[in-house]
């Protein structure tokens, strides 16, 4: 790239589909990326912007001249325009809006009024509507006259004189039905309208379960506002999934993988700092038992086992419940059953691993010179602590996501930290505490 293959690269960038160009930019380190971005023709910039990850998109969009940005995004779908503008600073948004035509500006301002993560934020306004009593023949003639249909149009909508939604007709029904029938004879009953305020993950679940390609969006009075298409829903699904995975490690799915070292280091530092605080809590618990450890050094050697096992068992339950909540399998109705089940699982596994670890520890230390007399106590101590911590871990893993969701805290982001803090504390406390009772 450095060696002047500019012409070829520019040709490639301007011939590839915009989504591929965006993917290519996302996969490129910042310096080369800036260079590539400058090689993209101005009229394609809007196309590429809409496919870029939030962080990178904001960087390039906010560095563009407002008039240029307005021109570049003019031909995009209204929801994508709103997405691009929605993340920019207010000052820039105002300038961009000011350089738009009045009609465009009104449409965008309207779209920006809906929360990005609702049906309204996913919606496009490019719907084709007809009246209920016209015949299919007339509809077909009307569509042919339009010469172009919006992307992903698989159905057109039937509305009354006040724009209230009556029903949807699939293009395929138009094609296979008798031309003299009125359109409201061939309405598709599977296509139900979506309320404009429905959260985007509910929209995604609806599309998934009903195998929808597009769906109409209505306001609280039943008036047709627009439609949502599957391509935008797929993006929601992917983002939700990325979010759970990345949050569990304290990462943000919208961050640039190839961000500069200092930027990334700062972001990660926060998570490491939070972790440090939680470890310090665990360390403080150990500190309480300093005298016991001084008397029996074997405890210092064995101490990581119980916290680690409790953390793993708890994380399993936590992950299961977080995912169950997000796919809608778990609700307050079946939660009690699930909670008891997880408790049962932890008791069984607690007993199993208490036995295995307790016996191993007993056998191992009874063979040493120094600890042979205290081997039974060591075995019983670790076995008891194991059962306690596994039960605590599972209970917490089940309860935490439910409580956090009710308190509007994201369990994927903070559930793991809270859980392991507690399982560490309880693990050290139960192990060293029981040991103190035995050896004091």
Alpha-carbon torsion, ordered 256, 258, 263, 266, to 10 deg: 90
Q: Is 140 in the site for a copy of itself (CB under 8 A)?
A: yes
Enumerate residues 149-168 that contact a copy of itself by CB under 8 A.
149, 151-154
CB atoms within 10 A of CB 363: 11
Q: Is 137 in the site for a copy of itself (CB under 8 A)?
A: no
- Secondary structure in 3-state letters for 321-354: HHHHHHHCCCCHHHHHHHHHHHHHHHHHHHHHHH
DSSP string, 78-125: HHHHHHHHHTS-HHHHHHHHHTS-HHHHHHHHHHHTS-TTBHHHH-B-
Closest contact distance (angstroms) between CB of 13 and a copy of itself is: 15
Q: Is 241 in the site for a copy of itself (CB under 8 A)?
A: yes
6, 287, 372, 373: residue in contact with a copy of itself (rule CB under 8 A)? 287
356, 359, 363, 437: residue in contact with a copy of itself (rule CB under 8 A)? 356
Residue among 62 and 275 whose Cβ is closer to a copy of itself:
275
Enumerate residues 301-340 that contact a copy of itself by CB under 8 A.
301-305, 307-309, 312-313, 315-316, 318-320, 323-324, 327-331, 334, 337-338
93, 96, 123, 286: residue in contact with a copy of itself (rule CB under 8 A)? 286
Q: Is 125 in the site for a copy of itself (CB under 8 A)?
A: no
CB atoms within 10 A of CB 1: 11
Q: Which stretch binds a copy of itself (CB under 8 A): 38-46, 97-105, 112-120, 250-258?
A: 250-258
Closest contact distance (angstroms) between CB of 92 and a copy of itself is: 27
Enumerate residues 396-435 that contact a copy of itself by CB under 8 A.
424
Residue among 133 and 279 whose Cβ is closer to a copy of itself:
279
Contacts of 425 (CB under 8 A, 6+ apart): 281, 282, 285
Find, among 224, 2, 217, the residue nearest to 118 by Cα.
217
Q: Between the CA of residue 384 and those of 312, 378, 388, 429, 433, what are the distances in Å? A: 17, 10, 6, 12, 11
Contacts of 56 (CB under 8 A, 6+ apart): 25, 26, 33, 256
Contacts of 16 (CB under 8 A, 6+ apart): 24
DSSP 182: B
Q: Is 129 in the site for a copy of itself (CB under 8 A)?
A: no
257, 359, 363, 403: residue in contact with a copy of itself (rule CB under 8 A)? 257
Residue among 98 and 272 whose Cβ is closer to a copy of itself:
272
Q: Is 147 in the site for a copy of itself (CB under 8 A)?
A: yes
- Is residue 189 helix, strand or coil? coil
Residue among 25 and 93 whose Cβ is closer to a copy of itself:
25
Enumerate residues 16-35 that contact a copy of itself by CB under 8 A.
17, 19-20, 23, 26-29
Residue among 88 and 233 whose Cβ is closer to a copy of itself:
233
């Amino acid at each position: 790239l450095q060696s002047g293959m500019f012409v070829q690269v520019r040709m490639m960038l301007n011939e590839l589909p915009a989504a591929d160009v965006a993917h290519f930019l996302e996969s490129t380190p910042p310096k080369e990326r800036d260079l590539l971005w400058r090689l993209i023709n101005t009229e394609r910039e809007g196309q590429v912007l809409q496919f870029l990850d939030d962080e990178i998109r904001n960087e390039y969009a906010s560095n563009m001249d407002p008039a240029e940005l307005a021109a570049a995004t003019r031909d995009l779908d209204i929801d994508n325009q709103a997405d691009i503008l929605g993340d920019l600073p207010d000052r820039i948004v105002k300038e961009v809006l000011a350089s738009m035509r009045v009609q465009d500006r009104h449409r965008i301002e309207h779209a920006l009024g809906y929360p990005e993560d609702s049906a309204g934020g996913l919606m496009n306004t490019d719907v084709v509507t007809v009246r209920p009593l016209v015949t299919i023949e007339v509809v077909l003639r009307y569509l042919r006259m339009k010469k172009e249909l919006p992307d992903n149009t698989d159905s057109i909508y039937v509305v009354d004189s006040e724009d209230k939604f009556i029903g949807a007709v699939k293009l395929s029904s138009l094609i296979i039905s008798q031309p003299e029938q009125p359109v409201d004879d061939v309405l598709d009953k599977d296509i139900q309208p979506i309320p404009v305020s429905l959260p985007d993950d509910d929209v995604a679940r609806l599309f998934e379960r009903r195998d929808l390609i597009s769906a109409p969006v209505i306001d609280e009075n039943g008036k047709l506002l627009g439609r949502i298409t599957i391509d935008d829903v797929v993006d929601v699904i992917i983002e939700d999934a990325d979010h759970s995975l990345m949050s569990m490690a304290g990462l943000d799915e919208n961050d640039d993988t190839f961000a500069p070292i200092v930027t990334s280091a700062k972001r990660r530092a926060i998570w490491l700092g939070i972790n440090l605080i939680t470890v310090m809590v665990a360390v403080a618990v150990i500190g309480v038992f300093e005298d016991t450890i001084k008397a029996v050094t074997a405890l210092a050697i064995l101490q990581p086992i119980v916290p680690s096992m409790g953390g793993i068992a708890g994380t399993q339950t936590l992950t299961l419940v977080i995912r169950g909540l997000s796919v809608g399998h778990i609700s307050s109705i079946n939660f009690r059953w699930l909670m008891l089940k997880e408790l049962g699982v932890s008791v069984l596994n607690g007993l199993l691993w208490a036995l295995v670890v307790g016996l191993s520890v007993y056998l191992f230390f009874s063979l040493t010179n120094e600890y042979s007399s205290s081997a039974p106590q060591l075995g019983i101590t670790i076995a008891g602590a194991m059962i306690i911590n596994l039960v605590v871990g599972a209970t917490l893993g089940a309860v935490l996501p439910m409580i956090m969701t009710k308190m509007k805290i994201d369990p994927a982001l903070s559930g793991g930290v809270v859980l392991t803090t507690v399982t560490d504390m309880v693990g050290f406390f139960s192990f060293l505490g029981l040991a103190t009772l035995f050896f004091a």
